[in-house]
C-alpha cells in the first residue's frame, strides 16, 4: 500500500511538473441553474488552463437527483474523476469503504490547513486525521431575499426582519402578489424550516437537536414557536406553484413574489438577471433576526481510480480549485463565500460583503448536512414538504412527527 | 433404455448450452437477485450493503413512515380506479368496435397510439395540459366559466386523479385490444341463440358474454395490477411526487431511499413489500390457471 | 413498467384466452343510420377527441412562440408558425454545461436500442427454440422462474443488478444497459418464440432430424426462415420497450450515455429562468417519434405483437 501511495505521489509530482499529458477528467456536479452554470464554467476554465480537460458531467435536478447517480456509479465500479457533494456526512460511508481518495498529500503540499477559513470546513472533510475532500465554497442557508418592486406595489416598506415580512404578508396578498415563494422540491421545504429554527430559536437549539438528538428540546415550547412560524410561512407560500428553487427565485426577481427564504446561491440568479442589491432587491442574513450564517458548502471528492494519469489530474484539479484566482472568479459568480480569507473580494456585492463580515466576526454555525445523515435529511424532507404543501397538518402534529425523527436519528 | 440415456444426454447438451443465458437469468438474476434483496431487507444497510441483521426493524420503520403509508394509499386509489376504469372503458370500447363499424382501423389506431409512447412522454404532456395557468383550466376560464377549478397537479387532494387521467390515456387502448380479441373469439352461434331467444343486447353482454370472457378479464386484471405496482416513470415526469408527498408511490419510495436517502435497508424492505403485493395477485391466479388445468 | 408491452404479451400469453384477430365474422344484421349508430359513432368520436387532444396540443404548442403561449389558448392553432423550438430542442437545449439538445440522447438511445434488440432477440429465439423443440429436464422449472420474473417489480432487482454489473465491469456503459434490457426482455420474448416454435409441425422437425441436421442446423435452416413474422413482432416489442425505458436508463447509466427519455425529463424538469413550454413539447414529440413511427408503420403487426400470446396459449 505504501509503495502504491508513493507511486501515486511520484506520478502526480511528475504530472504537475511537466503537465504534458492532457487527461480528460469527468467532473460530476448538480450546478445547472444560470448562475451556477456560469460559476462552474470558471472551474472548467481554470482546470483546462492546466493542460488537462474538464469533462462536464452536470446532472440536472439538484442534489437529490445527482447524489444517487454519483453513489451508484462509484459503487458500480464506474467512478467519475471527481464529484461535488455538500461536505458533511454525505460521503461518510464511501470514505469508510475506501472508495474515495485520501487527498492529504495535496492538502499538505498546498497548505490547506493554513488557508482554509473557518477551519471547521476542513474538519468536515477530515476523518481520522486524513483529508478526503477539497472544500470550494461556503454556502449559508439563512437568507431571505426580498423584491423591492413587490413591496412597492403593495405599498409597504421593505421589511428588515422576518417578523416584519410576516406582518406584510397580507398586504402583499391583497396587492395580488405571492408573499413568499417556495418551490415544490422537498429539500426547499426542510431547508426553510431549518432556517426558521436557526434564526428564531437560535443555532444552539439546532445544534442540540440535530447534533445531540435532544428529543425533549425538539418537543419543547421553543420549537413550538418555530412550528408556529413555519405555519405562518406556509400560508404565505400558498399558491407558489413552482418546482425548482430558481423558478421561485425568478418570482422574486420579477416582482411576482415578495420574498424567498433560500441560501446565498440565490444571489447568482439575481446577478444573472442584472439586479443590484439594495436597489432591486434586499437580502437579510439570518432573516434579520439573528446575525448568523451556517458554514456548509460544496466540496469536491475524488474517487479511487486505478489509473496514474487520472490520479495526477485529480491532484491538479484539487489544487486548482483552491487557488486564489479560481476562488475569486468562482465565488463571485456563484454568490457563495470563498473558503480562504486571504483573497481580495472587493468586487463582491453588498450581500456577499455582509456575509463576509459575519464570517469575519465568527458568527457561524455548523450546517445541517454536517449533523444529519442523508437518511435523516430525507425523513425531514418528507415531513416538511408535506407540511408546507398541505395546510391540513397542524403545527402540533408536525412537531410530534419531528420529535419522532429526532428520537430515532443516527 | 440404457442405450437411450447417454444419447438423450448428448442430444440435449447443445440445447442446454444454448439455454445457458436463460438459465443464468432465471437463477442468478430473478431468483438470486430477489432472494438477495429479501435477505438484505433484514439488515441495517445504509449506503452500502452490510450483512448486519436487525430483524424486522426496517419493516417497523417502513410502516411507521407517513410517506410510505401515503404511497400505499395512493397506490390503492390509483390501482382500484385504474383497474375499474380500464376494464370498463376497455370493454365498452371493444364492444362498440365489435359492432361491425366503419373505420374500425382508424378508431383503433387512435385509441391505441398512446400505448406506443413512454410514460415519461405521457407524464410531460399531461403536466402541460393540466397546467393551471396556461392549460385546460385557463382555457375553460377564458371561455367564460371564471370559477372553473381544475388544477389536479397542484391540489394535494386530487393529484392522484390527475395522474390517473394520464395513466388511463396511455394504457386503456391495450385493454381495448385484448378485450376486442376476446370478443372476436366468441362463437357466432351464441349471438344468434341470444337473438332468437329475444334476450336484450345488454343482457346478452352482462349475463352471457362477460362470463365467457372470464379468462380475458383475469389476464387483463393481472396485467394491469402488476403494471400498477411498478408505477414510477409517470409520477416522476408528471408530478415528482408532489405537491408535498401527495402523489408518492411505493416504487418511488424504493428508489429515493435506496439511492438518495442512502438507506438501502429501507429500500429493500419497501421493494420486498412490493414483491409481496405482486405475489398476492399472481399466486392465486397462477394456481387457478395452471392448477386448474392440471386437474382438468 | 419500463417495458409495458412486454409485460402485456406475457400476461396475455399465460392466460388461456383463445381469440382470433381476423376481424368481425359472420352476419350480424347491419342497419341503416339509426339511433344505435349515432350512439356508437358519437361515443367513438368523443373518445377519439380525448385520445387525440394531447397529441394535438403537443404539436400546436411546439409550433408557437413563447409570447403566444403565454397569452393564448393551448388549443388554438399557432398564429405564427415557428420551427425554432424544434431546432432548439434538438440541437441547443441545455442541461448544465451541455447544450447539445436532445440529439445526444437520441443517438444514445439508438446505440442502446439496436444492440439490445439484436441481442435479446437472438437469445430469446434460441431459448424459445430449445424449450419448444429440445425439451430437457429442468427446462420447465427455469421457464416458470423466467415467466415469474416478468412480474417481479423491477425495484426488487435494481440493486443486485448494480452489483452484477460491477462484477462484470459493465456498470455505466452502454453495454451494461444493453445487458439489462436483454435480461428483462427475455421472459416475454422467450415465451413468444416458444409458443411460435411449438406450433411448427412436428413432422418438419423430425424429417430434419432424420436428415441428420443438428440443433443449430435446424434452427438456421428451418426455424429461422419460417418465423420471420414473429421476429418482426419481437422487434416491435423490443424497440418500443427499450426506447421508452426510463428507470434502467436512470439507474444504470451516466449522463453522457443517458437515453433520450432520461435526457428529456432532465431538459423539461430543469429550468434556467423561464420554462419554455414550446421547446419542452417539441422535445417531447421528438422523443415519442420513434415508437410512434414504429406503431404507425407496423399497424396490424403491432396489435398482433400485443395480443400475440392471446392467439396461442
Specify the pLDDT at position B283.
85
- d(C-alpha C11, C-alpha C6), whole Å: 9
Q: If pLDDT is split at 50, 70 and 90, which confidence band does C32 have?
A: low
Q: Which residues of C touch B98 (CB under 8 A)?
A: 24
The minimal CB distance from A375 to the residues B244, B245, B262 is found for B262
Among candidates A255, A21, A33, A16, which has minimal Cα distance to A149?
Answer: A255
Within 13 A of B250's CA, how many CA atoms are on the CB side? Answer: 30
Which SS3 state, helix, strand or coil, does residue A178 take?
strand
* The pLDDT value given to residue C311: 35
Phi first, then psi, for residue B213 (nearest 5°) are -90, 10
- Phi and psi at C169, nearest 5°, equal 70, 25
Please indicate whether residue A60 or residue A71 has the higher confidence score (pLDDT): A71
Question: A215-244 b/e with 16+ CB inside 10 Å = b?
Answer: bebbbbeebeebbebbbbbbebbbebbbbb
Please indicate if any CB of chain A lies within 8 Å of the CB of B82.
no
**pLDDT at site B87:** 92
- A-chain residue closest to C159, CA distance: A72
Fold annotation for B58-295: MetI-like fold (1.10.3720)
CB contact under 8 A, C183 and B99: no
What CA–CA distance (Å, rounded) separates A1 from A3? 5
Interface residue B257 vs chain A (CB under 8 A): yes
Here the cell at position B224 is 394491469
What tens digit of pLDDT does each residue of A90-120 get?
Answer: 888 889 889 999 999 999 999 999 888 888 8
Look up the pTM and report it.
0.85
A331 vs B: CB within 8 A: no
Note whether B172 and B89 are within 8 A (CB). Answer: yes
- Among A161-170, B21-30, B202-211, C248-257, the range scoring the smallest mean pLDDT is C248-257
Closest residue on chain B to C4 (Cα): B227
Does C14 have pLDDT greater than 50?
Answer: no
Which residues of C, range 167-196, sit inside 8 Å of A by Cβ?
169, 171-173
Asked if the C-beta of B135 comes within 8 angstroms of chain C's C-beta atoms, the answer is yes
Chains that touch C (3 or more CB pairs under 8 A): A, B
Instruction: State how far the Cα of C38 lies from the Cα of C43, in Å rounded to an integer.
Output: 8
DSSP A220: S
Residue A234 and residue A391 in contact, taking contact as beta carbons nearer than 8 Å = yes
Q: What sign for the dihedral angle of Cα B102, B219, B225, B22?
A: negative
Report CA dihedral (A387, A390, A395, A398) to the nearest 10 degrees. -40
For residue B154, the chain A residues in CB contact (below 8 A) are: 241
Reply yes or no on whether the pLDDT at A74 is more than 70: yes
Give the residue from C252, C271, C275 with the most A CB atoms within 10 Å of its CB, the best one to mutate: C271
Q: Point out the residue among A75, A90, A241 whose CB comes nearest to the CB of B154.
A: A241
For C84-91, what is the mean pLDDT? 89
**Residue B189 has which C-alpha cell?**
352461434
State whether residue C271 sits within 8 Å of chain A by CB.
yes
pLDDT digits (tens, 9 = 90+) for A248-287: 998 999 999 999 999 988 888 888 888 988 899 999 999 9
Is residue C70 within 8 angstroms of chain A, CB to CB?
no
List the A178-180 sheet strands across, edge first: A178-180, A257-261, A143-147, A281-285
**Which residues in chain C have their CB less than 8 angstroms from residue B239's CB?**
none
B47 three-state secondary structure = coil
Q: Could you tell me if A228 lies within 8 Å of chain B, comparing CB atoms?
A: no
- Taking chain A, what is the end-to-end CA distance rounded to the nearest angstrom? 33
Residues in chain A with CB shorter than 8 Å from the CB of C258 are: none
C-beta atoms of B66 and A382 within 8 A: yes
Contact C12, C254 (CB under 8 A): no
- How many Cα atoms sit within 13 Å of B157 on the Cβ side? 4
Could you tell me the end-to-end alpha-carbon distance of chain C, in angstroms, rounded to an integer? 23
Instruction: Average the pLDDT over C25-48 and give the result.
Output: 76
Sorted by where each begins, the domain ranges of chain B are 1-40, 58-295
Residue C6: what pLDDT? 39
CB contact under 8 A, B47 and A184: no
Strand duo A126-127 + A130-131: pairing: antiparallel
C181: how many CB neighbours lie within 10 A of its CB? Answer: 26
Scanning B249-288 for CB atoms below 8 A from C yields 250-251, 254-255, 258-259, 264, 267-268, 270-272, 274-275, 278, 282
pLDDT reported for residue B142: 83
SS3 assignment, position C246: coil
Give CB contacts under 8 A, 24+ apart, made by A209-215.
Answer: A209/A406, A210/A368, A210/A371, A210/A372, A210/A376, A210/A406, A210/A409, A211/A366, A211/A371, A213/A406, A213/A407, A213/A409, A214/A406, A215/A403, A215/A406, A215/A407
Q: Which residues of C touch A249 (CB under 8 A)?
A: none
The Cα–Cα gap between B167 and B160 comes to 10
C-alpha cell at C170: 459493465
**Cα B99 → chain centroid:** 29
The answer to whether the CB atoms of C255 and A31 lie below 8 A apart is no
For C101-121, write each residue's pLDDT tens digit. Answer: 888 899 999 999 999 999 999
Q: For residues A336-340, give the mean pLDDT.
A: 88
Burial class (CB in 10 A: 0-12, 13-18, 19+), B144: exposed
Q: How far apart are CA C126 and CA C135, in angstroms?
A: 12
CB contact under 8 A, A93 and B132: no
Beta bridge partners of A131: A126
Q: Which of A94, A382, A388 sits opposite B47 (nearest CB)?
A: A94
A403 close contact with B: CB closer than 8 A: no
Q: How confident is the model at residue C15 (pLDDT cuts 50, 70, 90)?
A: very low
Question: pLDDT > 90: what percent of chain B?
Answer: 38
Tell me which of A1-10, A236-245, C68-77, C187-196 is least confident: A1-10
CB B268 within 8 A of CB C159: yes
Res. A370 pLDDT band, cuts 50 70 90: confident
Cα B215 to chain center, whole Å? 18
Q: Which three cell numbers stand for residue C18?
A: 383463445
Mean pLDDT of A335-343: 85
For residue B156 the three cell numbers come to: 394535494
Q: Are the C-beta atoms of residues A198 and A371 closer than 8 Å to each other? A: no
- What is the structure's pLDDT at A398? 94
Residue A57: which of C254, C269, C271 has the nearest Cβ?
C254
| B222 inside 8 A of chain C by CB | yes
Q: Which of C113, C251, C242 is nearest to C171 (CA)?
A: C251
Q: Are B289 and C14 in contact (CB under 8 A)?
A: yes
| Chain B touched by A71 (CB under 8 Å) | yes
C-alpha span between B198 and B192 (Å, rounded): 10
Whether B178 sits inside 8 A of C214 (CB atoms) is no
Interface probe with B: pick from A238, A382, A405, most Cβ of B within 10 Å: A382
Residue C31 pLDDT grade (very low, low, confident, very high; cuts 50, 70, 90): low
Q: Using CB atoms, which residue from C96, C172, C266 is nearest to A73?
A: C172
Quote the CA–CA distance of C87 and A352 in Å, as a whole number.
39
- What mean pLDDT comes out for the span C18-40? 60
User: Who's near C243: CB < 8 A, 6+ residues apart?
Assistant: B118, C109, C113, C259, C260, C261, C290, C291
Query: Does C26 score more than 70 pLDDT?
Result: no
| Residue A224 pLDDT > 80 | yes
Q: Pick B118's closest partner by Cβ from C154, C183, C261.
A: C261
Among C8, C292, C295, most B C-beta atoms within 10 A, so best to mutate, is C8
Domains delineated in chain A: 2-139+296-341 (3.40.190.10), 143-294+365-408 (3.40.190.10)
Mind listing the pLDDT tens digit for each residue in A234-259? 999 998 888 888 889 989 999 999 99
Across the interface, whether the CB atoms of C136 and B16 are under 8 A apart is answered yes
Across the interface, whether the CB atoms of A72 and C266 are under 8 A apart is answered no
- Higher-pLDDT residue of B6 and A177 is A177
* Ordered structural domains, chain C, with CATH: 104-262+286-311 (1.10.3720.10)
Percent of chain A with pLDDT over 90: 54
B43 touches chain A (CB under 8 A): no
C-alpha distance from C73 to closest chain A C-alpha (Å): 20
Q: Is B164 on the interface with C (CB under 8 A)?
A: no
> Nearest by CB to C136, which of B12, B93, B255?
B12
H helices of B98-198, in order, are 104-112, 119-129, 136-142, 159-184, 188-196
The answer to whether the Cβ–Cβ distance between C54 and B49 falls below 8 Å is no
User: What CA–CA distance (Å, rounded) separates B251 from B119?
Assistant: 14
C306 or C195: whose pLDDT is higher? C195
Alpha-carbon span B259 to B239, nearest angstrom: 19
> What integer is the mean pLDDT of A72-90?
86
Q: Which of A31, A69, A80 sits opposite C96 (nearest CB)?
A: A31
- Quick one: pLDDT at residue A394? 94
pLDDT reported for residue A239: 85
Q: For chain B, which residues score pLDDT lower than 50? A: 1-6, 293-296
Beta bridge partners of residue A285, listed in sequence order: A143
CA nearest C282: which of B117, B126, B135, B125? B125
Amino acid at each position: 500500500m505504501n509503495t502504491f501511495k508513493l507511486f501515486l505521489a511520484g506520478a502526480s509530482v511528475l504530472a504537475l511538473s511537466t503537465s504534458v499529458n492532457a487527461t480528460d477528467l469527468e467532473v460530476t456536479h448538480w450546478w445547472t441553474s444560470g448562475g451556477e452554470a456560469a460559476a462552474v464554467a470558471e472551474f472548467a476554465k481554470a482546470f483546462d488552463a492546466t493542460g488537462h480537460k474538464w469533462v462536464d458531467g452536470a446532472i440536472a435536478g439538484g442534489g437529490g437527483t445527482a447524489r444517487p447517480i454519483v453513489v451508484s456509479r462509484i459503487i458500480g465500479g464506474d467512478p467519475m474523476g471527481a464529484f461535488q457533494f455538500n461536505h458533511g456526512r454525505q460521503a461518510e460511508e464511501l470514505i469508510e469503504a475506501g472508495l474515495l481518495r485520501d487527498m492529504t498529500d495535496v492538502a499538505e503540499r498546498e497548505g490547506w490547513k493554513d488557508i482554509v477559513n473557518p477551519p471547521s470546513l476542513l474538519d468536515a472533510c477530515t476523518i481520522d486525521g486524513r483529508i478526503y475532500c477539497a472544500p470550494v465554497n461556503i454556502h449559508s442557508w439563512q437568507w431571505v431575499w426580498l423584491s423591492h418592486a413587490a413591496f412597492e406595489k403593495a405599498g409597504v416598506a421593505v421589511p428588515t426582519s422576518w417578523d416584519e415580512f410576516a406582518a406584510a404578508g397580507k398586504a402583499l396578498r391583497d396587492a395580488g402578489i405571492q408573499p413568499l415563494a417556495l418551490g415544490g422540491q422537498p429539500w426547499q421545504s426542510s431547508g426553510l424550516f431549518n432556517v426558521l429554527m436557526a434564526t428564531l430559536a437560535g443555532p444552539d437549539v439546532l445544534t442540540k437537536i440535530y447534533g445531540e438528538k435532544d428529543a425533549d428540546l425538539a418537543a419543547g415550547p421553543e420549537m413550538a414557536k418555530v412550528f408556529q412560524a413555519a405555519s405562518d410561512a406556509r400560508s404565505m407560500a400558498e399558491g407558489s406553484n413552482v418546482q425548482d428553487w430558481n423558478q421561485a427565485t425568478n418570482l422574486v426577481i420579477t416582482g411576482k413574489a415578495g420574498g424567498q427564504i433560500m441560501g446565498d446561491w440565490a444571489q447568482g440568479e439575481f446577478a444573472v438577471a442584472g439586479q443590484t442589491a439594495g436597489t432591486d432587491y434586499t437580502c437579510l442574513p439570518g432573516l434579520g433576526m439573528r446575525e448568523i450564517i451556517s458554514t456548509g458548502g460544496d466540496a469536491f471528492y475524488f474517487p479511487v481510480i486505478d489509473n496514474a494519469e487520472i490520479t495526477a489530474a485529480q491532484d491538479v484539479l484539487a489544487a486548482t480549485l483552491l487557488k486564489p484566482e479560481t476562488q475569486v472568479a468562482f465565488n463571485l459568480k456563484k454568490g457563495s463565500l470563498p473558503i480562504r480569507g486571504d483573497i481580495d473580494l472587493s468586487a463582491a456585492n453588498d450581500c456577499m460583503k455582509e456575509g463576509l463580515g459575519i464570517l469575519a466576526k465568527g458568527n457561524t454555525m455548523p450546517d445541517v448536512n454536517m449533523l444529519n445523515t442523508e437518511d435523516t435529511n430525507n425523513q425531514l424532507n418528507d415531513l416538511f414538504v408535506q407540511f408546507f404543501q398541505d395546510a391540513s397538518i397542524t403545527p402540533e402534529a408536525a412537531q410530534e412527527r419531528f420529535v419522532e425523527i429526532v428520537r430515532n436519528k443516527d | 433404455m440404457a442405450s437411450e440415456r447417454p444419447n438423450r444426454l448428448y442430444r440435449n447438451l447443445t440445447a442446454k448450452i444454448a439455454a445457458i443465458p436463460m438459465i443464468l437469468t432465471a437463477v442468478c438474476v430473478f431468483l438470486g437477485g430477489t432472494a438477495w434483496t429479501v435477505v438484505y431487507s433484514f439488515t441495517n444497510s445504509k449506503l452500502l450493503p452490510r450483512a448486519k441483521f436487525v430483524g424486522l426493524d426496517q419493516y417497523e420503520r417502513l410502516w411507521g413512515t407517513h410517506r410510505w403509508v401515503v404511497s400505499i394509499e395512493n397506490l390503492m386509489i390509483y390501482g382500484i380506479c385504474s383497474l375499474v376504469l380500464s376494464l370498463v372503458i376497455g370493454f365498452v370500447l371493444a364492444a362498440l368496435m365489435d359492432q361491425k363499424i366503419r373505420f374500425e382501423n382508424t378508431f383503433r389506431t387512435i385509441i391505441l397510439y398512446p400505448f406506443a409512447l413512454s410514460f415519461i412522454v405521457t407524464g410531460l404532456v399531461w403536466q402541460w395540459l393540466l397546467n393551471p395557468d396556461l392549460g385546460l383550466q385557463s382555457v375553460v376560464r377564458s371561455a367564460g366559466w371564471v370559477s372553473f377549478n381544475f388544477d389536479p397537479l397542484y391540489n394535494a387532494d386530487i393529484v392522484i386523479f390527475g395522474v390517473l387521467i394520464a395513466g388511463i390515456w396511455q394504457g386503456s387502448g391495450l385493454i381495448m385490444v385484448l378485450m376486442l380479441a376476446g370478443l372476436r373469439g366468441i362463437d357466432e352461434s351464441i349471438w344468434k341463440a341470444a337473438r332468437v331467444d329475444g334476450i336484450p343486447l345488454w343482457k346478452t353482454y352482462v349475463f352471457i358474454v362477460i362470463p365467457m370472457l372470464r379468462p380475458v378479464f383475469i389476464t387483463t386484471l393481472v396485467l394491469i395490477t402488476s403494471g400498477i405496482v411498478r408505477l414510477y416513470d409517470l409520477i416522476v415526469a408528471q408530478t415528482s411526487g408532489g405537491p408535498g408527498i401527495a402523489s408518492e408511490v411505493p416504487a418511488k419510495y424504493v428508489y429515493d431511499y435506496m439511492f438518495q436517502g442512502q438507506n438501502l435497508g429501507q429500500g429493500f424492505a419497501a421493494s420486498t413489500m412490493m414483491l409481496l403485493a405482486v405475489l398476492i395477485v399472481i399466486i392465486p391466479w397462477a394456481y387457478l390457471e395452471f392448477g386448474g388445468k392440471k386437474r382438468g | 413498467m419500463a417495458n409495458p408491452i412486454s409485460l402485456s404479451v406475457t400476461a396475455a400469453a399465460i392466460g388461456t384466452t383463445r381469440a382470433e384477430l381476423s376481424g368481425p365474422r359472420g352476419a350480424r344484421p347491419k342497419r341503416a343510420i339509426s339511433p344505435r349508430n349515432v350512439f356508437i359513432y358519437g361515443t367513438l368520436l368523443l373518445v377519439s377527441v380525448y385520445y387525440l387532444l394531447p397529441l394535438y396540443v403537443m404539436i400546436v404548442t411546439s409550433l408557437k412562440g413563447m409570447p403566444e403561449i403565454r397569452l393564448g389558448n393551448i388549443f388554438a392553432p399557432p398564429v405564427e408558425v415557428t420551427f425554432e423550438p424544434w431546432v432548439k430542442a434538438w440541437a441547443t437545449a441545455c442541461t448544465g454545461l451541455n447544450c447539445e439538445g436532445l440529439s445526444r440522447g437520441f443517438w444514445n438511445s439508438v446505440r442502446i436500442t439496436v444492440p439490445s434488440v439484436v441481442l435479446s432477440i437472438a437469445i430469446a429465439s434460441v431459448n424459445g427454440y430449445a424449450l419448444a423443440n429440445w425439451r430437457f429436464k429442468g427446462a420447465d422449472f427455469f421457464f416458470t422462474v423466467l415467466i415469474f420474473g416478468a412480474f417481479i417489480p423491477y425495484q426488487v432487482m435494481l440493486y443486485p443488478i448494480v452489483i452484477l454489473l460491477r462484477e462484470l465491469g459493465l456498470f455505466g456503459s452502454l453495454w451494461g444497459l444493453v445487458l439489462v434490457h436483454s435480461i428483462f426482455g427475455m421472459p416475454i420474448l422467450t415465451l413468444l418464440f416458444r409458443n411460435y416454435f411449438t406450433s411448427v409441425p412436428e413432422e418438419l422437425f423430425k424429417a430434419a432430424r432424420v436428415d441428420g441436421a443438428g440443433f443449430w442446423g435446424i434452427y438456421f435452416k428451418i426455424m429461422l426462415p419460417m418465423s420471420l413474422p414473429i421476429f418482426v413482432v419481437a422487434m416491435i416489442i423490443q424497440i418500443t420497450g427499450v426506447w421508452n425505458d426510463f428507470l434502467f436508463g436512470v439507474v444504470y447509466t451516466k449522463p453522457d450515455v443517458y437515453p433520450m427519455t432520461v435526457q428529456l425529463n432532465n431538459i423539461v424538469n430543469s429550468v434556467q429562468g423561464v420554462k419554455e413550454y414550446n421547446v419542452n413539447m417539441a422535445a417531447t414529440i421528438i422523443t415519442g417519434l420513434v415508437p410512434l413511427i414504429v406503431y404507425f408503420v407496423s399497424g396490424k403487426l403491432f396489435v398482433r405483437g400485443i395480443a400475440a400470446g392471446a392467439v396461442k396459449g
